[in-house]
Structure 1
Amino acid sequence: MLRFLIRKLPSVLGVTVVASMIAFALPRLAPGDPAVALVEGDASPETIAALRSEMGLDLPLWQQYLKWVGSLLHGDLGTSYILNRPVGDLILGRMDSTLELTIAATLLMVAVGMFFGVLGGSRLTPWARAFVDSWNTFFLAVPAYLVGLILILVFGIYTRVLPVSGEMSVLQNPNFGLQYLLLPALALALPGAAVVARLVQTSMLTNRGEDYVDLAISKGVSPRRITVRHVARNSLGTAAVVIGLRIGDLLAGALIIEQVFARNGLGSLAVNAVQSRDYLLLQVLILLAVVIAILAQLASEIALAALDPRIRLG
């Protein structure tokens, strides 16, 4: 396993470096200037120029990038241009809400995706197969924010059984916290669950044609045992990779879902950073999302290598 990780290390570092360049460049592609956004009313060009010099925005872009990367390597995330607070403190203050939503959505995605994937890969009646296929197709086609709006209409406006905005920590108050968390977590999880279900279903249907399944049938093993102990178990590698890939998407989608359900997480912080051209804050948020996605993908590959020695030794 150690050799497997060493082989993966160069690609992980390379992707992280490229991601840092993209995170640095993206905020600067938008029109506007942090110095202009910071001053109130009309300001003289000299005032704006002095402010840009104080922020380091008058330096060439390559020098700004190297200065930022050097600060990151020393554990300094910088200070927000607009809020004048350490970027690390701002992110930590909102991180718990976004992590709570992402973790809940991941658990729901795995549970729902594996359930429908195993169900779709089992021997079903035509009506049950049509239902599973329709469920997968619908949530594959509908984006998370639209799922969120549908859930708000059904459970928040028509039936009024769950709150549709605001938040409360599950750790502080599990009962009310879960009520506030359920709808945004479902909205975020269901499209990803459809991806997991479709790939697990396809993998199971493929594995059903393997020789070991025919051998188990000839030995008189029950269909349920074949499905659970053999077919589904050998399809876990596909699920592990897909789940790892989807965690990064869940984190990115959480920033949008937080706006739909008015949660005070990293999503609102990112929106404020975009509106105020807060370069330092925005580029750290972008890089953080990419790094978490990279680590999630690496974790899924490690899980797959643990399940399949051919991957580890190849």
Structure 2
Amino acid sequence: MTRYIIKRLTSLLPVLLVVAVVVFSLVQLTPGDPVSVLLGDEADMATIEQVRTELGLNSPIHIQFLNWLGNLLKGDLGTSMFFKQPVTEMFWRNFGPTLALAIYAEVIAIGLALILGSLAAKYRGTWFDYGVNGFTILGISVPSFLWALILVLVFAIYFRLFPTSGYRSIEEGFVSFIRYLTLPAFALGLVQASIITRITRTTMIDTLETPYIKATAARGISTRKIVFKHALKNSFLPIMTVIGDSFGGLITGAAVVETVFNIPGIGQLIINSIERRDYVVIQGVILLITLLYLLLNLGIDILYGILDPRIRLEGEG
């Protein structure tokens, strides 16, 4: 198992290097001068050139990249040009709301998907199965920001059950924390719930047709116990992979929903940094998000290897 984990960790290094090159290149090639944005329209050229020299922006691109990469290896992601704060500190300060939103959305997505997918497999070919398929098609087709607007219109403006926007930390009260996160979590989780539901239904149908499930049914065990205890348990490996990918997608895809609901998370940090042309923050935050996404997938792979020894042995081989 140790060799399997070391091999998976080693495979992350070239991916991170490629991501670092791509992120640095995209930010550097983006039109616009960050120093001009920082100093404003009234700044003269001499001041602009002086600040560019102080920030190292007048050096050749490959020198800038090597300096940035060298700082990365030391654990230094740089300092925000606009706020004059370390990027790492800004990231972790804004990561809490994004993580809370992603976890809440994932709980909603998993809960809906496992129930709807299992029941759709059990009652396949019936009106319930067709209804679940329609729900998944709708959920995948409608983007999260449109779900957000629909939910706000119905549950915040019409019924007045939830606030329209804003964020409350859990220290300000758990009930208030949940009320402010419910609508954005549903807006973000419905898309992932649709994807996981389709995978759950397909996997459950294959599992319910296996001989051991039919033998279990022949022994007189209740259908509910067969579906949710035996079949779902044996179908969970492929579902778990989709759940891991979906959680990473929730963290990286929360930017639009956070903007709609005015949640001070990573998404707003990136959008504001793009508007201010604060390229140091953009590079550092995207790199940290990529690292978290890769570590999450690594955790899923390791868990997969623990639950299924065949995968672990194949990886070690």
TM-score interval, normalised by the smaller of the two chains: over 0.9
| Structure 2 Cα separation of the partners of residues 99 and 53 of structure 1 | 37
Counterpart of 1:120, as a letter, is A
Counterpart of 1:57, as a letter, is L
Work out the number of aligned pairs and report it: 314
Contact 1:144 1:191 in 2 (8 A): yes
Any stretches of 5+ residues in structure 1 without a counterpart? none
Q: Which residue of 1 is the match for residue 285 of structure 2? A: 285
Q: Which residue of 1 is the match for residue 294 of structure 2? A: 294
For normalisation by structure 2, the TM-score amounts to 0.94
Secondary structure, aligned partner of 1:171: helix
RMSD between superposed Cα atoms in Å = 1.7
Give the Å deviation of 1:7.
2.3
Give the Å deviation of 1:56.
0.9
% identity of equivalent residues: 36
| Structure 1 Cα separation of the partners of residues 292 and 3 of structure 2 | 22
Cα pair distance change 1:41/1:125, threshold 3 Å: closer
Q: Which residue of 2 is the match for residue 52 of structure 1? A: 52
Q: Which residue of 2 is the match for residue 190 of structure 1? A: 190
Q: Which residue of 1 is the match for residue 249 of structure 2? A: 249
Contact 2:101 2:181 in 1 (8 A): yes
Alignment of 1:11-90 (within 5 A): 11-90=11-90
CA deviation map 1:206-249 (0-9, x unaligned): 12222222332344433223222322111111111001111221
Alignment of 1:206-225 (within 5 A): 206-225=206-225
| Structure 1 Cα separation of the partners of residues 55 and 65 of structure 2 | 13
Q: Which residue of 2 is the match for residue 275 of structure 1? A: 275
Counterpart of 2:91, as a letter, is I
Give the Å deviation of 1:125.
6.9
Counterpart of 2:33, as a letter, is D
Alignment pair present for 1:110 and 2:110:
yes
CA deviation map 1:227-279 (0-9, x unaligned): 22322111111111001111221012212111010112222221111011111
Contact 1:136 1:194 in 2 (8 A): yes
| Structure 2 Cα separation of the partners of residues 36 and 4 of structure 1 | 50
Contact 2:199 2:239 in 1 (8 A): yes
Q: Which residue of 2 is the match for residue 142 of structure 1? A: 142
Contact 2:155 2:162 in 1 (8 A): yes
| Structure 1 Cα separation of the partners of residues 299 and 114 of structure 2 | 19
| Structure 2 Cα separation of the partners of residues 38 and 245 of structure 1 | 37
Q: Which residue of 1 is the match for residue 266 of structure 2? A: 266
Runs of 4+ that moved beyond 6 A: none
| Structure 2 Cα separation of the partners of residues 121 and 3 of structure 1 | 38
Moved more, 293-302 or 177-186: 293-302
Contact 2:9 2:298 in 1 (8 A): no
Give the Å deviation of 1:137.
1.2
CA deviation map 1:156-210 (0-9, x unaligned): 1211111011111123311111110100111111101111111011011112222
